[in-house]
Structure 1
Amino acid sequence: MGLTDSQAQTPKYPERPLRVLHGFGAGGNADTVARILAAEMGKGLGQAVIVEPKPGAGGTIASGTVASAKPDGYTLLLATGGHAIAGALYDRLPYDTVKSFQAVSAVTSFPFLIVAQAGSKFNHLQDLLKAAKSRSQELTFGSAGVGTGQHMAGAWLAQQAGINLTHVPYRGESASMTGLLSGEVDLVVVAPTTAVQHIKAGKLQALATTGLNRWSGMPEVRTVAEQGVAQFEVRSWTALLAPAGLPKPQLDRLQAEVRRALAEDSVRTRLEEATGGEVKASTPADLQATIQSDLKRWTQLVKDANIQKE
């Protein structure tokens, strides 16, 4: 049976390599997730999926590049929770955080840990909250930088608990851990995988996890919600986005390949070990809802906490 005219005119997708951009340095969390995912997706797509780090301006350079790309399924974005934060924090972006992108699928999500030095006077989050509310001293928390998920989690904790915490931004999580170990700050908010080795070595202790449920890597560590700040939850995430206007056949193909890739045991294991979080695909609609919800929350926080916009 021969092809119809419409079938003959429909190009096969994909016919050439795909690019996945992200806005952070090579070797970091986003880069690791992107490369693990890209390698597996490439097998199913029959084309190479090339990862291109494009760091700078809180990830907005990479986001802007993808937003302005042709919506043909060949240029994609490995976005993080910082994508929604940037929408709340930056006054002028060359794209709309929601409308300029087509959500494809979530990839991973993970909570943060709130960590203090081992042997400090804070053994549990309640100790910290009590000290902050007594106003007996100024308490400081370190993060991976202004506008990061770690920064927003600490600011959200202060806002929801009704306490004052002074933010000390560092250049990345490693620097924030060094600051905590040297006593420059009272605590840090950090991705679990960054802190685990120091906790196991007895140098640091986890006061709480920011997820609504306990983190599987340290189930003995209670959540913020369990320790008096009701319904508190902050999770970061990674997800695959495309330029708005992506045709449905390409969207369906990409979404199916993400689901297939994440169902592979070896891929799930590598991603779980790399991020310390949950590996789970989503529908485009669910991912879009997550981005919109995060954008609304962080926009309100930036306003309420008087966080200086960039």
Structure 2
Amino acid sequence: MKRRTLLAACAATAAAWPACQALAQGYPERAVKLYQGFAPGGNADAIARAVGVEMGKAFGQPIVVEAQPGAGGTIAAATVARAKPDGYTLLLATGGHAVAGALYNALPYKTVADFEAVSTVTYFPFLIVVNAGSKAQGLAEILASAKAAPGTVAYGTAGIGSTHHLAGELLTKMAGVSMMHVPYRGDAASVTALLGGEVPFIIAPPTAVLSNIQAGKLRAVATTGPQRWPGLPKVPTVAEQGVAGYDVRSWAGILAPAGTPRPIVDRLNAEALHALQAPSVRQRLEDMGGEARGSTPEEMKALVARELEKWTQVVADAKIPRQ
């Protein structure tokens, strides 16, 4: 049976299962491409390389990370969605994958249905950060100011439609306040704005602000995850400060094109989980503010579906124009 025909049969019928398993046993026979949709050298690139190198050791074939930046990661996602489902083209998806599905009107792929989930790789929270000279000692004071003067308290993020932005919109909804969003061109620009006093606080990932926090220039007043971030264990969560149930974390995980045979997905999943146990990989992810955490394919697919539903509702509630 030709390889292309076998791949189709694997996706369509259980009768081809023995042949599919044989295919998976010989996989991979060549290098695997792992696309990521952001600039080289950024968080997504570093995550892909850390996990990909370790998986490549087990495979005996390299996993080549290829950056295809642009449009919030959707260009890379479209490339993988259109690729042959043979396990040789993968996507390092981030939380922005679900955000894009909520924000863009006409993506050339379906956020959930056009991919096979492999495993999550890491989760990391955002930090709510003020200037070191700010009078606000906690989030409660910021929210109190916003209640007293609706629409006047501003916050900065990396841009309209970013996960940071939607995290802010969800906060205003759950806290019952109105605040003004100020978008910047990336995290570096929002940090510069905060240091310069343009906005009273920003929402940003740990990697973008930690050096300035350590230097005493900025101060974190809250973390957006369900537990305190180990990197700043004294900083309480948003939920601890009166917004019960608030939980916003970004994540990264591996996706394959829909129709990739389950034995290949299972092999990828096993090697991803094994890679996440490597001390060097765990340390690299922790250095970026993340927590190494794998999953089953089913758990990751459910995560993407939940995130898509959540952010679709936030976009609608905040009346953010769909792109």
With structure 1 as the length reference, what TM-score do the two structures score?
A: 0.95
1:183 to 194, 197, 203: 197
Q: Deviations over 1:236-261 (max 9, x none)?
A: 00000000011011111100110111
Are 2:138 and 1:138 aligned?
Answer: no
Aligned to 1:219: 233
2:20, 2:125 → 1: CA distance? 48
Contact 1:104 1:287 in 2 (8 A): yes
User: For 1:137-286, what aligned pairs fall within 5 Å after superposition?
Assistant: 138-273=152-287, 275-286=288-299
Contact 2:20 2:261 in 1 (8 A): no
| Structure 1 counterpart of 2:90, one-letter code | L
2:256, 2:22 → 1: CA distance? 26
1:53, 1:137 → 2: CA distance? 39
Are 2:296 and 1:287 aligned?
Answer: no
Contact 2:32 2:88 in 1 (8 A): yes
Change (3 A) 1:9 1:278: closer
Change (3 A) 1:124 1:246: same
Q: Deviations over 1:202-245 (max 9, x none)?
A: 11111100011111111110110010101100000000000001
- CA RMSD after TM alignment: 1.7
Q: Deviations over 1:162-214 (max 9, x none)?
A: 11121111121111101111111111101112211111211111110001111
1:96, 1:76 → 2: CA distance? 16
Change (3 A) 1:39 1:179: same
Give the length in aligned residue pairs.
306
Tell me by how many angstroms 1:11 deviates: 7.7
Aligned to 2:310: 297
| Secondary structure of residue in 1 paired with 2:276 | helix
With structure 2 as the length reference, what TM-score do the two structures score?
A: 0.92
| Secondary structure of residue in 2 paired with 1:93 | coil
1:258, 1:9 → 2: CA distance? 19
| Secondary structure of residue in 2 paired with 1:263 | coil
> Which stretches in structure 2 are left out of the alignment for 5+ residues?
1-17
Aligned to 2:71: 57
Contact 1:123 1:205 in 2 (8 A): no
| Structure 2 counterpart of 1:299, one-letter code | T
Aligned to 1:41: 55
Change (3 A) 1:92 1:9: closer
Aligned to 2:319: 306
Change (3 A) 1:53 1:200: same
Tell me by how many angstroms 1:5 deviates: 9.3
> Which stretches in structure 1 are left out of the alignment for 5+ residues?
none
